[in-house]
Amino acid sequence: EIVLTQSPGTLSLSPGERATLSCRASQSVSSNYLAWYQQKPGQAPRLLIYYTSHRATGNPDRFSGSGSGTDFTLSISRLEPEDFAVYYCQQYDSSPWTFGQGTKVEIK
Amino acid sequence: QVQLQESGPGLVKPSETLSLTCSVSGGSVSSASYLWGWIRQPPGKGLEWIGHIYYSGRTSYNPSLKSRVTMSLDTSKDQFSLRVTSVTAADTAIYYCARVVAGYELMPFDNWGQGTLVTVSS
């Protein structure tokens, strides 16, 4: 099973700042099948990024994904008020599909 | 635009079976373009993939739950279902159904239901 470790656990930033979230895999995600989700309180997760760097339909271009192998990153170029939420990475390269434990982006 | 909606009991007794159904509107569960999955989230905690089912009925389950989980399709109603047997308090969670796009580039969980809280308690 591929274990995903996200860091930091909490990121305290101000609107307009850049956010960089990390997701490290215990073994290579060789197909680059790595996704990122945003979850707000009381809501289902929303797919932001799939296949490491492809933005899902309807998501603003301030969200971008990068990485390969075991190290992946979600970047938010300039935080908007609606971006403060919990973010999860997920690998769907091998079964069982697994999620990271989440990074909370909070208002500083 | 596809919409998914979970339904089922919100309270299940320990040792009994949890049964949920996901109704799909604006799409077909018999389409070869999609997989249909279940994910759960214990209150205040992270996400866990339970498994998914293909249009053909073939399934893939999380080994941590495999002995207790069954998924099925009802193509006549555009629904898919989840059963988890012998539940304990550890199965208390929000259960989500979601769609996977099985295209050239696999796109996981692009559409989700709103989720339904299932509590295991006597």
* Average pLDDT score over chain A: 97
Give the best residue of B107, B111, B114, B116 to mutate against chain A (max A CB count within 10 A).
B107
pLDDT at B103: 78
Q: How far apart are CA B71 and CA B97, in angstroms?
A: 11
pLDDT at B95: 98
Q: How far is A22 from chain B (nearest CA, A)?
A: 16
The pLDDT > 70 percentage for chain A reads 100
* DSSP reduced 3-state for A47: strand
Q: Residue range A84-102: average pLDDT?
A: 97
Look at A45 and B47 and tell me if their CB atoms are within 8 Å. Answer: yes
pLDDT at B43: 96
Residues of B with CB under 8 A from a CB of A: 46-49, 60, 62-64, 96, 98, 100, 105-110, 112-115
pLDDT in tens, chain B (122 residues): 899 999 999 999 999 999 999 999 999 999 999 999 999 999 999 999 999 999 999 999 999 998 999 999 999 999 999 999 999 999 999 999 999 999 777 889 999 999 999 999 99
pLDDT of residue A1 exceeding 90:
yes
pLDDT at B70: 97
Q: How far apart are CA B16 and CA A63, in angstroms?
A: 43
Please provide residue A71's backbone torsions phi and psi, each rounded to the nearest 5 degrees: -125, 120
Pairs of residues, one from chain A and one from chain B, whose beta carbons lie less than 8 Å apart? 60
The residue count of chain A comes to 108
Neighbouring residues of B25: CB distance < 8 A, sequence distance ≥ 6: B2, B3, B4, B5, B78
Which tokens is B18 given?
């949890």
Beta bridge pairs of residue B104 = none
Q: Between the CA of residue A33 and those of A45, A65, A94, B21, what are the distances in Å?
A: 18, 12, 9, 28
Q: Enumerate the residues of chain B whose CB falls inside 8 A of the CB of residue A46.
A: 112
Look at A37 and B62 and tell me if their CB atoms are within 8 Å. Answer: no
Look at B49 and A88 and tell me if their CB atoms are within 8 Å. Answer: no
Q: Residue range A88-101: average pLDDT?
A: 97
pLDDT at B122: 95
pLDDT at B106: 87
pLDDT of residue A95 exceeding 90:
yes
Of A79, A88, A86, A66, which Cα lies nearest the Cα of A19?
A79
Look at B105 and A97 and tell me if their CB atoms are within 8 Å. Answer: no
Percentages (nearest 5) of helix, strand, coil residues in chain B: 5, 55, 40
A30 or A60, which is more confident: A60
Half-sphere exposure of B101 (CA within 13 A, CB side): 12
**pLDDT tens track for A13-55:** 999 999 999 999 999 998 999 999 999 999 999 999 999 999 9
Q: How far apart are CA A10 and CA A105, in angstroms?
A: 6
Residue with tokens 């109704």: B23
